[in-house]
Structure 1
Amino acid sequence: MTLNRRKFLKNLGITGSLLTVPSVMLNAKPLFGRGNIDLSNVTLKGRVQSNGKGISGVPVTDGINIVLTDKNGDYVLQSNGTAEFVYISVPSGYAFPEEKGIANFFRPLSKGNPVIKNDFSLEKLKVDDRKHAFVVWADPQMKSKKDVELLMSQSVPDLQALVKSYPKDLLIHGIGCGDLVWDEFELFADYKEAVGKTGIPFFNVIGNHDMDNEARTDDGSSNTFKKQFGPTYYSYNRGDIHYIVLDDVFFLGAAKNYIGYITENQLQWLDQDLAHVKPGSTIVLSTHIPTFTGQQRRNGKPEEVGGGTVANRKQLYKMLAPYKVHIMSGHTHFNDNWEEGDIMEHNHGTVCGAWWTGPICGDGTPSGYGVYEVDGTDIKWYYKSTGLPKETQLRIYPKGKVKESPDEISANVWNWDSKWKVEWYEDGLLKGPMEHRVAYDPWAVELYLGPQLPKKHKFVEPTLNDHMFFAKPSPDAKKITVKATDRFGNIYEESI
Structure 2
Amino acid sequence: MLNRRNFLKNLGLTGSLLTVPAAIVNANPFSKRGRIDLSLINLKGKVSANGKGLAGIAVTDGINITQTDKNGNYQLTSNPTAEFVYISVPRGYEIPSENGIASFYKKIDKNKVVQTNDFQLTALTVDDTNHNFVVWADTQMRSKADCELLKTQSVPDLQALVQSYPKGTPFHGIGCGDLVWDKFELFKDYKEAIQMCGIPFYNVIGNHDMDIEARTDDLSANTFKDQFGPTYYSFNRGELHYIVLDDVFYIGAAKRYIGYLTENQLQWLEQDLATVKPGSTIILSLHIPTFTGAARRANKDEVLGGTVSNREKLYKMLSGFKVHIMSGHTHFNDNWEEGDIMEHNHGTVCGAWWTGPICGDGTPSGYGVYEVTGSDIKWHYKSTGLPKEKQLRIYSKGRLKDAPEEISANVWNYDHRWKVEWFEDGIAKGDMEHRTALDPWAIELYEGPQLPKKHKFVEPTLNDHMFFAKPSTDAKKIKVKATDRFGNVFEEEISM
- Provide the TM-score with structure 2 as the length reference: 0.97
Structure 2 residue identity aligned to 1:123: T
Structure 2 residue identity aligned to 1:219: D
Secondary structure, in 3 states, of the residue corresponding to 2:18? Answer: helix
Tell me the equivalent position of 1:194. 193
Q: Given that residues 243 and 284 in structure 1 are in contact (C-alpha distance below 8 angstroms), is that contact kept between their aligned partners in structure 2?
A: yes
Does residue 102 (structure 1) correspond to residue 96 (structure 2)? The answer is: no
Tell me the equivalent position of 1:224. 223
Tell me the equivalent position of 1:425. 423
**Within 5 A, what are the aligned runs for 1:69-148?**
69-148=68-147
Shift of 1:116: 1.2
Shift of 1:10: 1.2
Does residue 464 (structure 1) correspond to residue 462 (structure 2)? The answer is: yes
Gaps of 5+ in 1: none
Q: Given that residues 13 and 68 in structure 1 are in contact (C-alpha distance below 8 angstroms), is that contact kept between their aligned partners in structure 2?
A: no
Tell me the equivalent position of 2:326. 328
Shift of 1:27: 4.8
Shift of 1:144: 0.3
Secondary structure, in 3 states, of the residue corresponding to 1:18? Answer: coil
Tell me the equivalent position of 1:264. 263
In 2, Cα distance between the equivalents of 1:26 and 1:33?
14
- Provide the TM-score with structure 1 as the length reference: 0.97
Shift of 1:218: 0.1
In 1, Cα distance between the equivalents of 2:167 and 2:217?
42
Residues 224, 324 of structure 1: CA spacing in aligned structure 2 closer, same or farther, 3 A cutoff?
A: same
Does residue 365 (structure 1) correspond to residue 363 (structure 2)? The answer is: yes
Shift of 1:25: 3.4
Shift of 1:112: 1.0
Tell me the equivalent position of 1:309. 307
Residues 447, 50 of structure 1: CA spacing in aligned structure 2 closer, same or farther, 3 A cutoff?
A: same
Residues 370, 37 of structure 1: CA spacing in aligned structure 2 closer, same or farther, 3 A cutoff?
A: same
Shift of 1:115: 0.4
Shift of 1:133: 0.2
Structure 1 residue identity aligned to 2:321: Y
Residues 17, 222 of structure 1: CA spacing in aligned structure 2 closer, same or farther, 3 A cutoff?
A: farther
Shift of 1:8: 3.5
In 2, Cα distance between the equivalents of 1:81 and 1:256?
28
In 1, Cα distance between the equivalents of 2:358 and 2:388?
16
Structure 2 residue identity aligned to 1:232: T
Tell me the equivalent position of 2:213. 214
Shift of 1:222: 0.1
Does residue 389 (structure 1) correspond to residue 393 (structure 2)? The answer is: no
**Within 5 A, what are the aligned runs for 1:398-437?**
398-437=396-435
Q: Given that residues 92 and 240 in structure 1 are in contact (C-alpha distance below 8 angstroms), is that contact kept between their aligned partners in structure 2?
A: yes
Residues 42, 286 of structure 1: CA spacing in aligned structure 2 closer, same or farther, 3 A cutoff?
A: same
Shift of 1:120: 0.1
In 2, Cα distance between the equivalents of 1:410 and 1:83?
54
Tell me the equivalent position of 2:54. 55
Does residue 11 (structure 1) correspond to residue 9 (structure 2)? The answer is: yes
Shift of 1:22: 2.3
In 1, Cα distance between the equivalents of 2:258 and 2:299?
21
Q: Which of 442, 445, 449 is the equivalent residue of 1:444? A: 442
In 1, Cα distance between the equivalents of 2:53 and 2:26?
32
Aligned length: 493
In 1, Cα distance between the equivalents of 2:210 and 2:85?
22
Tell me the percent identity: 73
Tell me the equivalent position of 1:473. 471
- 31-40 vs 366-375, greater mean Cα deviation: 31-40
In 2, Cα distance between the equivalents of 1:141 and 1:130?
32
Gaps of 5+ in 2: none
Shift of 1:33: 3.6
Shift of 1:18: 3.4
Tell me the equivalent position of 1:351. 349
Shift of 1:416: 0.1
In 2, Cα distance between the equivalents of 1:17 and 1:451?
58
In 1, Cα distance between the equivalents of 2:340 and 2:263?
24
In 2, Cα distance between the equivalents of 1:314 and 1:424?
39
Structure 2 residue identity aligned to 1:55: L
Shift of 1:390: 0.3
Residues 296, 13 of structure 1: CA spacing in aligned structure 2 closer, same or farther, 3 A cutoff?
A: closer
Q: Given that residues 136 and 367 in structure 2 are in contact (C-alpha distance below 8 angstroms), is that contact kept between their aligned partners in structure 1?
A: yes
Residues 18, 454 of structure 1: CA spacing in aligned structure 2 closer, same or farther, 3 A cutoff?
A: same
Shift of 1:23: 3.7
Shift of 1:183: 0.1
In 2, Cα distance between the equivalents of 1:399 and 1:305?
35
Residues 36, 9 of structure 1: CA spacing in aligned structure 2 closer, same or farther, 3 A cutoff?
A: farther
Shift of 1:483: 0.2
Tell me the equivalent position of 2:340. 342
Q: Write the deviation string for residues 80-125 of structure 1: whole angstroms up to 9, x where unpaired.
A: 1111000000000110000000000000111211001100000011
Q: Given that residues 240 and 281 in structure 1 are in contact (C-alpha distance below 8 angstroms), is that contact kept between their aligned partners in structure 2?
A: yes
Q: Given that residues 361 and 442 in structure 2 are in contact (C-alpha distance below 8 angstroms), is that contact kept between their aligned partners in structure 1?
A: yes
Structure 2 residue identity aligned to 1:354: A
Does residue 297 (structure 1) correspond to residue 292 (structure 2)? The answer is: no
In 1, Cα distance between the equivalents of 2:17 and 2:369?
39
Shift of 1:77: 0.2
Secondary structure, in 3 states, of the residue corresponding to 1:345? Answer: strand
Does residue 244 (structure 1) correspond to residue 237 (structure 2)? The answer is: no
Secondary structure, in 3 states, of the residue corresponding to 1:311? Answer: coil
In 2, Cα distance between the equivalents of 1:177 and 1:92?
22
Residues 5, 170 of structure 1: CA spacing in aligned structure 2 closer, same or farther, 3 A cutoff?
A: closer
Q: Given that residues 26 and 80 in structure 1 are in contact (C-alpha distance below 8 angstroms), is that contact kept between their aligned partners in structure 2?
A: no
Shift of 1:30: 5.4
Q: Write the deviation string for residues 364-410 of structure 1: whole angstroms up to 9, x where unpaired.
A: 00000000000000000000000000000000000011111111000
Tell me the equivalent position of 1:46. 45
Q: Given that residues 48 and 73 in structure 1 are in contact (C-alpha distance below 8 angstroms), is that contact kept between their aligned partners in structure 2?
A: yes
Shift of 1:14: 2.9
Secondary structure, in 3 states, of the residue corresponding to 2:17? Answer: helix
In 1, Cα distance between the equivalents of 2:149 and 2:200?
21
Secondary structure, in 3 states, of the residue corresponding to 1:437? Answer: strand
Q: Given that residues 16 and 77 in structure 2 are in contact (C-alpha distance below 8 angstroms), is that contact kept between their aligned partners in structure 1?
A: no
Shift of 1:194: 0.1
In 1, Cα distance between the equivalents of 2:80 and 2:188?
30
Tell me the equivalent position of 1:183. 182
Tell me the equivalent position of 1:493. 491
Secondary structure, in 3 states, of the residue corresponding to 1:195? Answer: helix
Tell me the equivalent position of 2:376. 378
Secondary structure, in 3 states, of the residue corresponding to 1:11? Answer: helix
Q: Given that residues 16 and 76 in structure 2 are in contact (C-alpha distance below 8 angstroms), is that contact kept between their aligned partners in structure 1?
A: no
In 2, Cα distance between the equivalents of 1:209 and 1:93?
34
In 1, Cα distance between the equivalents of 2:383 and 2:41?
48
- 24-33 vs 168-177, greater mean Cα deviation: 24-33
